[in-house]
Amino acid sequence: MAAADQIKSLIKSFGEGDESRFFATAMQIAATEARKGHSNFAQELKNIIDKARKERSQDFIENKAIPLNVHKRDLEELIEVFQPKIKLSSMVLDVQTQNSLNSVIKEQEKWQVLKQHNLEPKRKLLLTGEPGTGKTMTAQAIAGELGLMVYIIRLDGLISKYLGESIAKLRLIFDAMLDHRAVYLFDEFDSIGSHRNLQHDVGEIKRVLNSFLINIEKDPSNSIIIAATNLPESLDSALFRRFDDIIEYPLPDEEHIISIIKKSLHNFKFNSKANFKELSKISLGLNYSEIVKACNDTIKEMILSGSENLQIELLKDNLKKRKIVNVK
């Protein structure tokens, strides 16, 4: 990219509030200067950029700033804002889910190239699956891969706390997507996304759902919108065509359970040889979160008891307890 084009891109991204593109362009300028042999200047630019990016992220974390031209109290009770530190490599996923998410990341990293050909990158995702299978963690991992903030929208609060104002608040959330490129997660989406013809559905929820359908279809931002649900069968059929991709999260099979246990306990040793095949059979039916919690309980017991090794029998017991609770 020529210097003139880089400067134009820098100014344009600043004007549009596209922080990610602003920093990416600034880094391109630094790289160009390095190739020209201006190594000291390039390093100075890089240091300034790194410092600015860090300070900007820290400001969002500490102040939980909401980039809207309204008082942040209007939305702070509905939105949790933070900078995630995890990436997709932190997760254990089946091949199909992994491929779908890799495709999203690839298109997002090359979004400028796609737009030059009048193509839009995937950025509207519907994640379905049982609780604890990794839907919320996926939103954080996508943000971590792309260096973006995560905005978690509490939809239950939108309906219960702002009865009669829900549509206006939802509009503010979509306005935020234009002001600040980030990952916006609408968790427990079935709280508003249920079939519009359900007899027991209240009018407010129907109006919010209709508003969401309009907003997501017309949304011109470059933000990533993720809706997560445990009950895909309850969703209104009109929702599905509004998303670029629908990704299903199954419970882990034996192979993935072994990977989860090994990843969770890789820094520790067992008091005897671990039969991972046996552990996986004990864990069948548990979700990702429950398996990790059983592993963490075993680690904590090792630490508190002053032992140097994990007790394999204790891990088995912890997995069985989780399974009993899960069945109940």
**What pLDDT, on the 0 to 100 scale, is given for residue 36?**
78
Q: What's residue 267's pLDDT? A: 86
- The residue ranges of every structural domain in the chain are 3-61, 64-249, 254-327
pLDDT the model gives residue 321: 93
Query: Exposure of 269 by Cβ count < 10 A (0-12 exposed, 13-18 middle, 19+ buried)?
Result: exposed
- For the record, the structure tokens of 21 come out as 């593109």
CATH superfamily of 64-249: P-loop containing nucleotide triphosphate hydrolases (3.40.50.300)
Instruction: Express each pLDDT in 261-272 by its tens digit.
Output: 999 998 899 988
Q: Which two tokens stand for residue 22?
A: 């602003």
pLDDT for residue 2: 47
pLDDT at position 151 is 92
Question: Can you list the residues of the chain whose pLDDT is less than 70?
Answer: 1-3, 5-6, 9-10, 12-21, 23-24, 31, 53-77, 157, 159-164, 193-204, 325-328
Distance in angstroms (rounded) separating the CA atoms of residues 196 and 198: 6
Topology, domain 254-327? Helicase, Ruva Protein; domain 3 (1.10.8)
Longest CA–CA separation in the chain, Å: 70
